[in-house]
């Protein structure tokens, strides 16, 4: 039994909710080819493989923040365009594997981190200057981010072959 299976209360709620929305996102790519996952069936230019890649990268960076603050989060450069696309040589299976690795790391951290620990946010035009986020707030943000992109992914998948995660 892993430490995440022994959680109770708030940590359980946060983890179960994050896992549920990750599951919705992963369901949207089930059975797709690499070509389908890289396709851009809407005017947005988003692709399903790119969304998996983006959500994994975002979760990874926010957990770096949760552990070590903005400085730790900023150690890895962000490819603002490429994070939403499947690069040549990338496969859907590889992107899903990375997504699952990041998820497992996050799940373990949820079991150990102080949810009230806070760090100043990185300097960016979309953050309030001088604001701090707790680990709890980071997890709530990850749930919202994953949920939002699962909705985007559902639209993309339906545009590709009519499949839907719900309904």
The tens digit of pLDDT for each residue in 87-137 reads 999 999 999 999 999 999 999 999 999 999 999 999 989 999 999 999 999
Domain-wise residue ranges, the chain: 27-161
Stretch 8-12: mean pLDDT: 89
Specify the pLDDT at position 71: 94
3-class secondary structure, 128: coil
Question: Closest by alpha carbon to 26, among 47, 46, 52, 45?
Answer: 52
Does residue 6 carry a pLDDT above 70? no
φ and ψ at residue 74, rounded to 5 degrees: -80, -5
pLDDT value of position 45:
87
Tell me the whole-structure pTM to 2 decimals: 0.93
Provide the 3-class DSSP secondary structure of residue 119. strand
* pLDDT recorded at residue 5: 53
With cut-offs at 50, 70 and 90, classify the pLDDT of residue 2.
Answer: very low
CA 93 to chain centre: 16
CA dist 108 and 89 (Å) reads 30
Which homologous superfamily is 27-161 in?
Answer: dinb family like domain (1.20.120.450)
- Higher-pLDDT residue of 68 and 81 is 68
């Amino acid at each position: 039994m892993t430490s995440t299976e022994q959680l109770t209360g708030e940590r359980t709620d946060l983890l179960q909710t994050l896992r549920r929305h990750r599951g919705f996102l992963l369901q949207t790519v089930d059975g797709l080819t690499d070509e389908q996952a890289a396709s851009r069936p809407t005017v947005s230019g988003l692709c399903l493989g790119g969304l998996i890649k983006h959500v994994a990268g975002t979760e990874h960076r926010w957990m770096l923040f949760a552990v070590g603050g903005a400085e730790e989060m900023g150690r890895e450069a962000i490819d603002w365009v490429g994070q939403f696309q499947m690069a040549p040589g990338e496969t859907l299976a590889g992107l899903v594997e990375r997504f699952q690795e990041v998820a497992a790391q996050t799940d373990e951290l949820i079991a150990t981190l102080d949810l009230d620990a806070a760090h100043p946010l990185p300097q960016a035009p979309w953050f309030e200057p001088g604001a701090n986020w707790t680990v709890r707030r980071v997890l709530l943000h990850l749930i919202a981010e994953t949920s939002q992109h699962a909705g985007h992914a559902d639209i993309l998948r339906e545009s590709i072959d009519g499949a839907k995660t719900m309904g």
